[in-house]
Structure 1
């Protein structure tokens, strides 16, 4: 049976239309591939939670390709790239083939098509993040020297054959909930003793207007201050308008985003923030989003303070979720120390890969 590659029209809503049906099938393929790669059902998301992030954006180019086999979408390739700034030289590609459809050349055909889009739009490099399940035999290390992936894994051999290089390894960690309140109280008290002159703020979904310029600056700093390993990362500029667009998209999802931010009281500006994305179903984990503390404010245990403050916020607002899941670069020892002290345990790994066009 032969397959065909097509660009998928992103529906405005899941209304039973052909476009909505194709998006749901593409999401099913994505989920099956991610669950197989990470080895956990935590990696699966309902189509309605993913759809807002694929709507037209004034700040990002977003396109999706699908592979149709026997009338059904069995694989997808997503493409995203900023529309302006230095980071616009990079295209981010996500490739997922349903495990039942592998071995037919679908992955190669989708990767070819996605890389053509990246090149045609003038991008100079491709970045992709790919789960690597456990495997025997030799290991492949990134240039950081932190972490590794099984060199004989199918996804590793596929990427190497296409000219990608392993630039970084990310650890996936899971924090079982609830955490012992005494542990959180002890860790928070220790952090607060080092964080004099700083104040914690909380909000849900919509940021107070006074913080918008600071949040845009901090989101920009995520691309320059966070460890990037061997990835050639350019500054990915966020403006207030881009932040507001992202907030509006998040509000279209059934998920809820909880924020904790820390203010440097003397200057009246934010020094960092962290976010948790919470699904409506109580049997699913919350996702840890960005956590950033500006370099000039590090050394005050603000990362620990932010993390614990938002965990407490989650337990207060939405009790009953089984866990929190987070991704961290293996070389980001500071954040791994914070997570391990709270109780996060490693459950899976992914490689960050780069290809120059």
Structure 2
């Protein structure tokens, strides 16, 4: 490995808008991010525009995040993200390091990682955690997490990078894609079967965009429970506390991104409270893939096929709102077999894999 490349590491200021000073650097960073993930995935389905990503970095009081870039001769060739939970009991920092393929094995990733790790450890949070998209060459030892679900190849460069630094693989997530359109008859049949299993005690409600006032409290509960109820293997996770103010900030973030959010929820009729929800995010460019983000059924309402009901109902809504959308992408922990079963039943197939790693000092 050559280490004679002169690498400059700097923190990137987050611009107030894409018209503000510093926006060009932010846009260049996003281009680098997209190039790296396209290389890893073999497809550009996970690409985003700078406008779509900017709000993610701006809401600092809920999700603190710092962004760093590596430059070689003035050009951004890599990026590093340091984030952590705002909860008082948080013990972990999350590190993400990405380098353009043509600049790997030249010390760029090491320089970025060392810079981020030093800041994280000085913060008083002793645990370092990382998420990374990995290739899965059919060579080398298979690395399996303690969950027993999924695997990564020891020959993947990202796996080698993290294992050399003492990280242990905790979880594998499957990245899935659903080609659109889905057969309407299939969706209708699955929705009817799921609604029959759920019974008259549950009904589907939906909305486009910002959260309706009558559901703000329930959405805050669902988002909080998403941080504790979703499978997290052996990772150090803190509860993310959501309230009406955070939901309002989240809705503003959506508006600023230029994306549109389709939400379908299951109302528990006897209580009038939401028992689960599913989110789809549509880019302004409807020729780009749709992102399926949070899906959750509260533990006390599981076993009634609400997960299937929610996903199918939102896919039907998507077909109405954006019939030209080509694909839906989503991430699920490999041990979340129930949700993977739901995905596979409507046509999702694996398109990539992500590892979640942990280093305890």
Q: Which TM-score bucket, shorter chain as reference?
A: over 0.9
Aligned-pair distance for 1:311?
0.7
- 1:158 to 2:150 alignment: no
Q: 1:107 is matched with which residue: 106, 109, 116?
A: 109
Do the aligned partners of 1:142 and 1:230 also contact (CA within 8 Å) in 2? no
Residues 354 and 104 of structure 1, relative CA distance in 2, 3 Å threshold: same
- 1:76 to 2:63 alignment: no
Q: 1:336 aligns to what? A: 340
CA distance in 2, matches of 1:345, 1:60: 31
Q: 1:98 aligns to what? A: 100
Q: What are the ranges of 5 or more consecutive residues in structure 2 without an aligned counterpart?
A: none
Q: 2:304 aligns to what? A: 300
Aligned-pair distance for 1:278?
0.6
Residues 65 and 268 of structure 1, relative CA distance in 2, 3 Å threshold: same
Q: 1:176 aligns to what? A: 179
Question: How big is each residue's C-alpha offset from its partner over 1:82-123, in whole Å with a ceiling of 9 and x where there is no partner?
Answer: 22243x322222211111221211111111111222222222
Q: How does 1:120-269 map to 2 (within 5 A)?
A: 120-135=122-137, 136-196=139-199, 197-269=201-273
Q: How many residues align?
A: 355
Residues 238 and 187 of structure 1, relative CA distance in 2, 3 Å threshold: same
Q: 2:318 aligns to what? A: 314
Moved over 6 A (4+): none
TM-score normalized by structure 1? 0.96
Question: How big is each residue's C-alpha offset from its partner over 1:299-351, in whole Å with a ceiling of 9 and x where there is no partner?
Answer: 11000000011111111111101110011111101000100111111111111
Do the aligned partners of 2:7 and 2:111 also contact (CA within 8 Å) in 1? no
Aligned-pair distance for 1:56?
4.2
- 1:291 to 2:310 alignment: no
Q: 1:5 is matched with which residue: 9, 33, 51?
A: 9
Bigger CA drift: 183-192 or 226-235?
226-235
Q: 1:50 aligns to what? A: 53
CA distance in 2, matches of 1:202, 1:92: 33
Aligned-pair distance for 1:222?
1.1
- 1:277 to 2:281 alignment: yes
What is the alpha-carbon root mean square deviation over aligned residues? 1.3
TM-score normalized by structure 2? 0.95
**SS of residue paired to 1:252:** helix
CA distance in 2, matches of 1:207, 1:16: 29
**SS of residue paired to 1:25:** helix
Q: 2:64 aligns to what? A: 61
Question: How big is each residue's C-alpha offset from its partner over 1:260-305, in whole Å with a ceiling of 9 and x where there is no partner?
Answer: 1111110111101110011121221100000000010001100000
Bigger CA drift: 235-244 or 301-310?
235-244
Q: 1:40 aligns to what? A: 43
Q: What are the ranges of 5 or more consecutive residues in structure 1 without an aligned counterpart?
A: none
Do the aligned partners of 2:80 and 2:98 also contact (CA within 8 Å) in 1? yes
Q: 1:22 aligns to what? A: 25
Do the aligned partners of 2:132 and 2:354 also contact (CA within 8 Å) in 1? yes
Residues 238 and 16 of structure 1, relative CA distance in 2, 3 Å threshold: closer
CA distance in 2, matches of 1:239, 1:348: 34
CA distance in 2, matches of 1:128, 1:241: 29
**SS of residue paired to 1:43:** coil
CA distance in 1, matches of 2:252, 2:91: 26
